[in-house]
């Protein structure tokens, strides 16, 4: 693959890359220049002109049209997309709204971001959430399947784990769930627009994503996906004027919900955040899902090979290629006392932690990173 389009994008849209090896997308992504412009233009227009009611309506037209772009990113249909705020809030749409039989249990992973576990505990109770333990930071699908019984209604996972960078074997898990009528719910915040997701190839029932990490956007805006297969089995816990079939209020206040996933929208969304999210999604679609994944995984391979040559540094999990993602954790000696601030002073943005389990650095590689970023980071580690 020709990587020059990635270099061009980096040069033209991500000026921060000239100051830093920016390896911290798993915390927050960089804003592209065109994302920044879309955000600023929106705010400037409102500041200069105010917003009429008909322009308010234009916002809705734009947001409804943009469902197509979001759908394209995961190969879904626009009717399966709804706007939301945080990942955690979005996950609750499914856990609170899905019809479940009595005594239903949910299988998840001990590596999960807490919201995945919390929202299911809130729905089915502490004892009905079964948490699989990782093996050397990996989670073979069989470890999840071993916890499944006839009462398992849902497998809920973060497709890429923020705690290790492990990427699940989605095909295996999706097939397993499809064959048994188990719902599959995924938090995709740590891989959206990084690792390829195609819900037509590998069916998923529900997904949630925020825009501030891999989507390079603002906080408090994201989206949810509900498969058409299950849409009528998920009931909105909250309703409002925007999730109805016709946004003009009915004279008799009859409540007719939208037949589409936008039934989970209750009021005016974060218009400016949506404009920002649109830009990064367009960048991703222009680059192409397959090429982005290949670009990232090539960089990850390169980081693996460079880190393997360092003494006292270990790659957490040392995952098989199919379980790698844009996130890599490295263990380092605690006495190196590496912090985020120290790395920043050396022109590197990544996340270091130093806890009872030892010290580590989380490195995230996105489509705006290149080999020089990895080289700069490795050169920094070599100074210890
Ligand atoms: C996998 C995952 N999900 C969710 C979140 C938090 O997202 P939000 O604040 O939008 O709920 C994080 C943050 O690190 C995360 O890593």
Task: Flag whether 340 is in a domain.
Answer: yes
List the residue whose alpha carbon is closest to atom 9 of ligand 1.
86
List the residue whose alpha carbon is closest to atom 16 of ligand 1.
162
Residue ending a domain, choose from 262, 286, 310 = 286
> How far, in Å, is the centroid of ligand 1 from the Cα of 79?
24
The ligand 1 site (C-beta within 6 Å) comprises 86-88, 113, 115, 158, 162, 187, 189-190, 210
**For residue 252, what are the domain limits?**
38-286
Q: Which atom of ligand 1 is nearest to the CA of 160?
A: 1
Question: What's the number of domains the chain is made of?
Answer: 2
- Based on the domain organization, do 57 and 181 belong to the same domain? yes
User: What pLDDT, in 10s, does the model give residues 97-121?
Assistant: 999 999 999 999 999 999 999 999 9
List the residue whose alpha carbon is closest to atom 7 of ligand 1.
87
Task: Flag whether 32 is in a domain.
Answer: no
List the residue whose alpha carbon is closest to atom 4 of ligand 1.
87
Residue 85 contacts by C-beta under 8 Å, 6 or more apart in sequence?
220, 221, 222, 270
* Spatial distance between the Cα atoms of 376 and 224, rounded to a whole number of angstroms: 37
- Based on the domain organization, do 132 and 273 belong to the same domain? yes
Query: What is the rounded average pLDDT of the residues 162-177?
Result: 97
Which among 108, 111, 115 is the best mutation to test ligand 1's pocket, defined by most ligand atoms within 8 Å of the CB?
Answer: 115
> How far, in Å, is the centroid of ligand 1 from the Cα of 225?
16
Residue ending a domain, choose from 286, 303, 332 = 286
Residue ending a domain, choose from 286, 315, 334 = 286
pLDDT at 2: 79
Task: Flag whether 193 is in a domain.
Answer: yes
Domain holding 167: CATH number?
Answer: 3.40.640.10
Residue 60 contacts by C-beta under 8 Å, 6 or more apart in sequence?
247
Q: Please answer whether residues 93 and 207 qualify as being in contact, where contact means their C-beta atoms are separated by less than 8 angstroms.
A: no
pLDDT at 249 over 80: no
- Based on the domain organization, do 253 and 295 belong to the same domain? no
> Phi/psi at 20 (nearest 5 deg)?
-135, 150
Q: Using 50, 70 and 90 to split pLDDT, how confident is the model at 299? A: very high
pLDDT at 193: 98
Query: What is the rounded average pLDDT of the residues 328-357?
Result: 95
Residue 252 contacts by C-beta under 8 Å, 6 or more apart in sequence?
none
């Amino acid at each position: 693959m020709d990587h020059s389009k990635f270099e061009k994008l980096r040069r033209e849209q991500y000026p921060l890359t000239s100051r830093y090896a920016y390896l911290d997308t798993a915390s927050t992504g960089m804003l592209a220049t065109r994302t920044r412009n879309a955000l600023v233009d929106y705010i400037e227009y409102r500041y200069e002109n105010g917003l009429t009611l008909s322009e308010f309506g234009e916002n809705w037209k734009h947001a409804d049209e943009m469902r197509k772009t979001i759908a394209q990113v995961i190969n879904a249909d626009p009717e399966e997309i709804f706007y939301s705020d945080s990942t955690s809030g979005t996950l609750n749409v499914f856990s609170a709204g899905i019809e479940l039989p009595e005594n239903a249990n949910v299988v998840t992973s001990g590596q999960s971001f807490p919201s995945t576990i919390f929202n299911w505990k809130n729905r089915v109770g502490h004892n009905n959430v079964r948490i699989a333990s990782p093996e050397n930071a990996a989670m073979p699908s069989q470890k999840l399947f071993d916890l499944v019984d006839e009462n398992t209604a849902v497998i809920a996972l973060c497709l890429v784990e923020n705690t290790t960078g492990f990427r699940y074997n989605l095909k295996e898990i999706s097939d397993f769930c499809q064959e048994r009528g188990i719902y599959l719910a995924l938090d995709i915040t740590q891989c959206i627009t990084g690792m390829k997701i195609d819900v037509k190839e590998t069916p998923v029932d529900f997904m949630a994503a925020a825009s501030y990490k891999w989507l390079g956007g603002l906080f408090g805006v994201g989206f949810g996906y509900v498969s058409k297969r299950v849409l009528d089995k998920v009931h909105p816990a909250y309703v409002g004027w925007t999730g109805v079939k016709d946004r003009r209020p009915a004279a008799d206040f009859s409540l007719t919900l939208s037949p589409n996933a936008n039934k989970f929208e209750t009021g005016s969304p974060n218009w400016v955040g949506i404009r920002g999210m649109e830009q990064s999604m367009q960048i991703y679609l222009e680059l192409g899902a397959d090429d982005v994944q290949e670009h990232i995984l090539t960089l990850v391979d390169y980081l693996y090979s460079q880190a393997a040559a360092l003494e006292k540094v270990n790659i957490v999990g040392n995952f098989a290629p199919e379980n790698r993602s844009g996130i890599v954790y490295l263990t380092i000696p605690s006495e190196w006392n590496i912090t985020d601030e120290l790395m920043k002073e050396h022109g590197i943005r990544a996340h270091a932690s130093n806890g009872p389990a030892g010290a580590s650095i989380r490195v995230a590689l996105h489509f705006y990173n290149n080999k020089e970023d990895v080289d700069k980071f490795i050169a920094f580690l070599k100074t210890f």
